[in-house]
Structures are given as C-alpha cells and as structure tokens.
Amino acid sequence: MSIDPTTTTAWQALQDLADVFTIDLREEFDNDDNRVADFTARASDLYVDMSKSLLTREVRDALLSLAAECKVEEYRDAMFAGDKINVTEGRSVLHTALRRKQGDTLTVDGQDVIGDVHAELDKVYDFANRVRSGQWRGITGKPITHVVNIGIGGSDLGPKMAYEALKPYVQDGLECRFVSNIDPSDIYENTVDLDAETTLFIIASKTFTTLETLTNARLARTWLLDQLRDQGIVTEDSESEAIAKHFVAVSTALDKVAEFGIDPDNAFGFWDWVGGRYSVDSAIGTSLVVAIGPENFAEFLAGFRAIDEHFANEPAEGNVPLLLGLLNVWYVNFLGAESHAVLPYVQYLHRFPAYMQQLTMESNGKSVRSDGSYTEYDTGEIFWGEPGTNGQHAFYQLIHQGTRLIPCDFIAVANPAHGLKDGETDVHELLLANFFAQTKALAFGKTEEEVRAEGTEEKIVPARIFEGNKPSTSIMAPELSPKVLGELIALYEHITFVEGAVWGIDSFDQWGVELGKQLAKDLTPAVAGDEKALRETDASTRALIDYYRNERE
C-alpha cells in the first residue's frame, strides 16, 4: 500500500502553514543574520544556496516531518538495496549500482550486481581505448574519426547532453554525433558530410525494439554499405565484415542485437534494473567514453557516487537532494507552482534542461500511486529552461513580472573552461554578475517607492515594479569537470526520487508513452494509403491523413 501523503499529520500542518503563508525575503534577510548559513548546504563539490527560496524554518521542519511520515528514507534505502520498488514492472531500481566501486558487493536475485557492472565497464573501456588509439580500424584500415550514436530518449539525451557538457575533454580528432528523431532529416544531416570508412555507429537501445532507433540503424547500415559499394570497397561477401567494423550496439537485449546483424562481441550490455532515463552512466554512455576516455568517465562516475553517498548517509537537515525534493513538493502542492525552470549559466550545459525534462517528467508525470489508487494532489511539475544569459532576453520577463510562480534553479561554476578577456574584463565575471543579479532581482525586487525615486513617469510606475519574493536556488561548483557533471545529474536523479517518494508514485515506469507508440503502428498503413485502415480511424485523423495524401508530391 502506498502512503497517501495527504493523510499525514505533516501534510495537514503544511496546508495550515500554506493557508496563511506570506514571506518577504527582504525582511527575512534584514532580520535574520543566519538565514544564508542555515539555508545553504554542501554536497561533495556542490554549494547549494536555498536562502532565496520561499522557505521558513517552520516550513522546512514540516517538510522534513512529511518525508519521515512518507518513509522517504526507508524507500531510499530500499532503492539502494535493490528491492523491487519499480512495482508496475516488477524491477529493482539500481542506477546507483552503476557507480559503486569495484570490490563492493550487492547481490540481487542471486547475482553479484557490482561485479557485473565492472565487467561490462571494462569491456566498454577496452573498446573506447581501441577507438581512441586508432587500433580499432574501419574496413579499409583507417582509424575512426566520427562516432554516430543512434538512440532516442534515455539512449540519446544523456550521452548527448554529457558530450556537449564535456566538450573540452573530448579527444582531438574525434567527433560524436547523435541521431534520434525518426524524421529522416536527422540522420541525413548527421551523415551527409561523413566518410563511411572512418565512421562508427553505436546503436543504443535498452529494449532494441524502438521504432526510431531501429529504423535509423537500418538507414545507417544502408548509407554505409551504399557508400562503400559505390567506392568498390565492399562486395556482397564483405558486407558483414563492414558491419562488424562500423557498428557496435548497446542494449539489455543482446539476442535482438544479434538478430539485427551486429556481432555480439561488439555489443555492450546493461540490465533491466537501469531505467532508460537513468542510464547515461551505464554502457549507454559508450559514445561519451570514446569521446572523453575511460579516466574521465571514471571521474564522471565518481561524481555520481559522491552524491549517492551524500543522499544515503547525510542526516535529513543537511541532505541536499532530500531538501530540494521537499522544497519542490512545497512549491507544487502548497504554493501552486506548475513549472520549474532550470537555468544553467554554463553554455556547455545547454542540453541539461532537455535531459532534465525526461528525467523528471517521465519519472513523476503520474496520476496513480504505486498501488493503483488515484493521486488527488498534483504531481510532476513541468521542467524547462535554457542557458543564461540567453533566457534573460527571452522568457525571464514572465518569471520576474508574470502572474505565475516559477521556482528557478540557477547553476554556475567558478572556473570557466575558456577564460577569455574583453580588454581588462574577465568575461566569465560578466556571466556570473548576471547570474547573481537575476537571483537578487527575483528575490528582492524593486518597490514602488524605489521606482518613483528614480523619477519614473507616474503612469508607468506599476509596470516597472518588481514584486520580488520569486524563489530561486543557486547551485555552484568549482568547474564543470566530469565529476561535477556526475554530481549534478545524481543530484537531480535523487531530487526526482524524493518527490516521487512523497507522492507515492512509481517514478520508474513510463506507461504513458505506450499508447502513442501503439497507435503510430496501427496508423502506418492508413498513412501509406490503406483505405480500410483509413476508414477505421476517427474523422479528424482521417481528414489529417487525407490532407497529407493530397499534398504529398
């Protein structure tokens, strides 16, 4: 039975607090010298300032009581131990095992999970070293210069986001590309300028059944063989050799990989206890390992591990993922927030918000609890964002002066990857000044008196007032290293976990993606012109397909 959080004493206490809740962050800062220290915590390399949140100590205490009543810590321990907490799929949830140290032990269903993880990791490392050193060669004996990862969802967003984030660590002469969309323009644009002789495809799919990935994998195979045939390099007899040298796969379904024609020796596995959106640190990250090398990847894993250990062991009062997850619950269920902005002031993190969307929204976009009963409270806020300062010139207007409550996470690092100067000015400092200015403007605003005191024309005074008390959390780290990136990802994984645990939902299934997949399959014949299939569908869909068929040249 999942706990209905609304039946807890803490929920009622929070509701009572929310009913009369007001906060003036200016006053809080003026009257409370300890606010910053008290609402700031560290987790490994991450410095997390929650002082500009809509939090009082009373609310925080009530939130911690809510976590206790909802047994969040027990549930966390069950996850780490490998209990089958993904109840609708009957699976353990063990992405944390992917980053445990060699020599640790964890036995699940009689299997040494950590031993398996390291055996597979060694295979991936060995493969990556061979590609990086030029020992792995294409069919004509040339080393690989381009790696194309074909995958979608968790088999794309994580590796791509991390590759973009860690560009400064990518080996010279190697480039990774990522093809995900079934829109054929995606694979076209990503292969049009490539030389088949020096291109290696990684087909990444947990299930190895995903329509987009298998279609793109077949298109890639055709592209490769056509190019090599046209150049007289490959004949029918040497096709399988070409595939072996230019295709590897990552999957939990190694039998399906073999069916596709990829040599099982060139396949890397993982396990059904790793959810797709939690898989960047499994063999799904193979393209990243090739790009940044095993040593950097090991550092990336160390970052995850540091936050896992913090989440598992830090007492509740200083446990950052726990506090941030609970803070989100406060915003969603008691203050009515519907969305949450993630704003990295690090250009290399430009895909981080997109990655976060799958992590958070596929995990917590649920309206039934694990036992099948309906949630009669909101779950799963909408995560969105863009890097700063770009967003400032686009949507920040709504955050500052709109009618909605949008909690924001600002992320920045002290040391830039490229310390460029504009004359005497360190440009990274301009970036950081913007970060600090935004969180300050959101929290403290600008009063009517202040606007007037600037000599503002009376009729536009209201338009120039900033209410303030717009919440933000600031997350800083020394630099965007592989370790820090691992820490950031693990932080949000566990924030997501905490929210799901309070809401009593299964954050590890994703049944909501199935219906559309099934209908797409059913509609394919109608789109292709099958009259009977067309007649069987609804009037709107039929009209759309008619429009398509009439317009298509």
Ligand X SMILES: O=P(O)(O)OC[C@H]1O[C@H](O)[C@H](O)[C@@H](O)[C@@H]1O
Residue 34: CB minimum distance to ligand X, A = 43
Q: In the chain, what is the greatest distance between 2 CA atoms, to the nearest angstrom?
A: 83
Which CB, 119 or 513, lies closer to ligand X? Answer: 513
51, 86, 92, 155: which one contacts ligand X (CB under 6 A)?
155
d(CA 480, CA 492): 16
The DSSP output letter for 334 is: I
Residue 201: CB minimum distance to ligand X, A = 15
Q: Which residues pair with 175 in a beta bridge?
A: 146
Q: Which of 283, 288, 282, 289 is nearest to 304 (CA)?
A: 282
- Is residue 379 close enough to count as binding ligand X by CB under 6 A? no
Which CB, 213 or 469, lies closer to ligand X? Answer: 213
Q: Which residues pair with 199 in a beta bridge?
A: 146
Which CB, 362 or 409, lies closer to ligand X? Answer: 362
- Is residue 385 close enough to count as binding ligand X by CB under 6 A? no
Residues with catalytic roles: 362, 393, 517
Which CB, 138 or 153, lies closer to ligand X? Answer: 153
Residue 512: CB minimum distance to ligand X, A = 8
Phi-psi region of 469 (alpha: psi -120 to 50; beta: other; left: phi over 0): left
Count how many Cα atoms sit within 13 Å of the Cα of residue 131 in the half-sphere of its side chain: 35
- Is residue 158 close enough to count as binding ligand X by CB under 6 A? no
Q: How many CB atoms lie within 10 A of CB 492?
A: 22
Amino acid at 302: A
CA distances, 227 to each of 193, 199, 234, 237, 239 (Å)? 12, 11, 9, 16, 12
Residue 499: CB minimum distance to ligand X, A = 18
Q: Which of residues 403-422 bind ligand X (CB under 6 A)?
A: none
Site string for ligand X, 263-302 (x = CB under 6 A): -------------xx-------------------------
- Is residue 520 close enough to count as binding ligand X by CB under 6 A? no
Q: Are 472 and 52 in contact (CB under 8 A)?
A: yes
Q: Which stretch binds ligand X (CB under 6 A): 145-153, 240-248, 256-264, 420-428?
A: 145-153
28, 362, 493, 509: which one contacts ligand X (CB under 6 A)?
362
5, 143, 153, 269: which one contacts ligand X (CB under 6 A)?
153
Q: What six digits make up the tokens of 313?
A: 């062991």
Residue 522: CB minimum distance to ligand X, A = 17
Residue 353: CB minimum distance to ligand X, A = 17
- Is residue 319 close enough to count as binding ligand X by CB under 6 A? no
Which CB, 153 or 293, lies closer to ligand X? Answer: 153
Q: Which stretch binds ligand X (CB under 6 A): 171-179, 182-190, 205-213, 383-391?
A: 205-213
Amino acid at 316: A
Count residues contacting ligand X (CB under 6 A)?
15
Residue 301: CB minimum distance to ligand X, A = 20
Phi-psi region of 210 (alpha: psi -120 to 50; beta: other; left: phi over 0): beta
- Is residue 207 close enough to count as binding ligand X by CB under 6 A? yes
CA distances, 294 to each of 129, 166, 170 (Å)? 8, 13, 11
- Is residue 86 close enough to count as binding ligand X by CB under 6 A? no
41, 117, 139, 152: which one contacts ligand X (CB under 6 A)?
152
- Is residue 507 close enough to count as binding ligand X by CB under 6 A? no
143, 154, 269, 407: which one contacts ligand X (CB under 6 A)?
154
Q: Which stretch binds ligand X (CB under 6 A): 202-210, 392-400, 482-490, 529-537?
A: 202-210
Amino acid at 533: A
Q: Which stretch binds ligand X (CB under 6 A): 94-102, 199-207, 304-312, 447-455?
A: 199-207
**CA angle centred on 276, ends 117 and 126, rounded to 5°:** 35
Q: What six digits make up the tokens of 244?
A: 């072996």
- Is residue 310 close enough to count as binding ligand X by CB under 6 A? no
91, 100, 206, 221: which one contacts ligand X (CB under 6 A)?
206
Residue 213: CB minimum distance to ligand X, A = 5
DSSP per-residue string spanning 239-302:
HHHHHHHHEEEEES-HHHHHHHT--GGGEEE--TTS-GGG-TTTGGGHHHHHHH-HHHHHHHHH
Exposure string (b/e) for 388-400, b if CB count within 10 Å is 16 or more? bbebbeebbeebb
Which CB, 14 or 150, lies closer to ligand X? Answer: 150
Q: Which stretch binds ligand X (CB under 6 A): 88-96, 203-211, 257-265, 487-495?
A: 203-211
- Is residue 360 close enough to count as binding ligand X by CB under 6 A? no
Residue 431: CB minimum distance to ligand X, A = 33
- Tokens 């980053």: give the residue: 99
The DSSP output letter for 136 is: S
- Is residue 210 close enough to count as binding ligand X by CB under 6 A? yes
d(CA 461, CA 491): 41
53, 328, 473, 510: which one contacts ligand X (CB under 6 A)?
510
Q: Which stretch binds ligand X (CB under 6 A): 103-111, 148-156, 292-300, 478-486?
A: 148-156
51, 96, 180, 213: which one contacts ligand X (CB under 6 A)?
213
Q: Which residues contact 375 (CB under 8 A, 6 or more apart)?
A: 366, 367, 368, 369, 503, 504, 505
d(CA 108, CA 274): 13
Residue 351: CB minimum distance to ligand X, A = 15
* Sheet with 339-344, side-by-side order of all strands: 40-43, 46-49, 472-479, 408-415, 339-344, 382-384
- Is residue 95 close enough to count as binding ligand X by CB under 6 A? no
Q: Which parts of this chain interact with ligand X (CB under 6 A)?
A: 151-155, 205-207, 210, 213, 276-277, 362, 510, 513
